[in-house]
Amino acid sequence: MPRASIAIALLLLAAGSLVAIPHSQQSPPAPPAPAPGPRASGQTITVPVNLVNIIATVLTRRDKLVTGIDKAEFRVFEDGKEQKIEFFSRETDLPLRIGLLLDTSNSIRERLEFEKDAAIEFLSNNLRRKKDQAFLMIFDNEPSVIQNYTDDSSKLTEAVQRQRAGGGTALYDAIIQASDKLAQAPQPADNSGVRRVIVVISDGDDNLSQAARGAAIEAAERTGASIYCISSSTEWVSAASETDPRKKVERKYLKGDADKVLVEFAAETGGRAFFPYSVDDLGQSFQDIGQELRSQYSLAYIPPNRPADGKLRLIKVEVDRKGLVVRTRKGYYALPPQPAVKFAAPQNP
């Protein structure tokens, strides 16, 4: 292989180690050509690597997943202005890195067994040995990791079953700590990228966090993690009527303030919120989550050259097909760009 080709290959590998972009169907752009003329030994080529990465789910209006959409059909907007999609891939089988957050506060004491069953059911449906990894965090007065990253669902299940309820609820603090831990998630041996997910099983009633709700959403967005919420609340369940045959099944009829918190976490980060009543209702929900996580699209674009002032930049993704809905995170915070990749150029032969 010519020296120049080797240099470019190493350059792209270096860039890939700094930017969390999953495997793309499109090759990254080549580095800019150096100015003509002799090149001194040790001269460097500098390539900026600040990209905005987006994971998108496309559904029909009846929440049926849509796969097989091509890059040309997607349109990405930042603060209302269309952006050029630089990278695109259909992410059908990325390894998962899951933060499982279990509410063990006093407010869910009567529903703790439901939460345990929900956590175990989720793991059995979605954690693949030697591919995915998850950690278990509980939160009451404060968050605590009780089982570190593992691909062994039995270890996580044993940790779940040991839990007892008591104390306040620091949900927002837990999401922030889980986001930080996901940012340092173990990478696959081939460094091919991972899908970061936070699964919250809680009634959504935070009463003890030091951080604000917005800070928790921001932490998840910075990490690129989607939040999937499973409500353990029963306050919204209507009483079943024995006299009215049309009301044999208890149904959700109203979302309270805590329910809306769970909905907000999911909506802002591109996840979903579920409101099951019994463990029997969970099976389909978890199948939906698993299928969704493996039927998504990865897109990336170079953000406009504006000051990195830390403010929120709004993102919108559309597809050129009628009747489809795209679910993704709502935006990102404009931080200073990552350091550019520097690579020593080869000498002229």
- Residues 275-323: pLDDT tens digits? 887 777 788 778 888 889 888 999 999 999 888 888 889 999 999 999 9
Q: Would you put residue 8 in left (φ > 0), alpha (ψ -120 to 50) or beta?
A: alpha
Q: How confident is the model at residue 251 (pLDDT cuts 50, 70, 90)?
A: low
How much is the pTM? 0.77
Same domain, 121 and 10: no
Same domain, 151 and 21: no
23 occurs within a structural domain: yes
Residues 83 and 141 in one domain: no
Do 188 and 120 have their domain in common?
yes
Query: Which residues neighbour 195 within 8 Å (Cβ) at sequence distance 6 or greater?
Result: 22, 55, 91, 94, 95, 96, 97, 293, 296
**Hey, which of 15-19, 28-32, 232-236, 237-241 has the most confident mean pLDDT?**
232-236
Q: Is residue 121 part of a domain?
A: yes
* Same-domain status, 242 and 288: yes
- Does the pLDDT value for residue 46 go beyond 60? no
CATH of the domain at 148: 3.40.50.410
Examine the fold and report which residue of 268, 294, 320 is the final residue of a domain before the chain moves on: 294
How high does pLDDT run on average in the chain? 81
Same domain, 112 and 236: yes
Range of the domain at 50: 3-92+297-344
Say whether both 264 and 125 belong to one domain: yes
As given in the structure block, the two tokens for residue 297 are 């699209």
User: Is position 349 within any domain?
Assistant: no
Task: Let me know whether 155 and 199 are in one domain.
Answer: yes
Around 341, how many Cα atoms within 13 Å sit in the side-chain half-sphere?
Answer: 20
Q: Are residues 187 and 310 in the same domain?
A: no
What 3 state SS string does 298-314 have? EEEECCCCCCCCCCEEE
198-214: per-residue pLDDT in tens? 999 999 999 999 999 99
Q: Average pLDDT, stretch 235-263?
A: 64
Same domain? For 84 and 171 the reply is no
C-alpha 108, offset from chain centre: 26
Q: Are residues 315 and 240 in the same domain?
A: no
Based on the structure, what is the number of domains in the chain?
2
- Answer yes or no: do 80 and 153 share one domain: no
Cβ(137)–Cβ(110) below 8 Å: no
Confirm whether 325 is domain-assigned: yes
pLDDT confidence band for 256 (50 / 70 / 90): confident
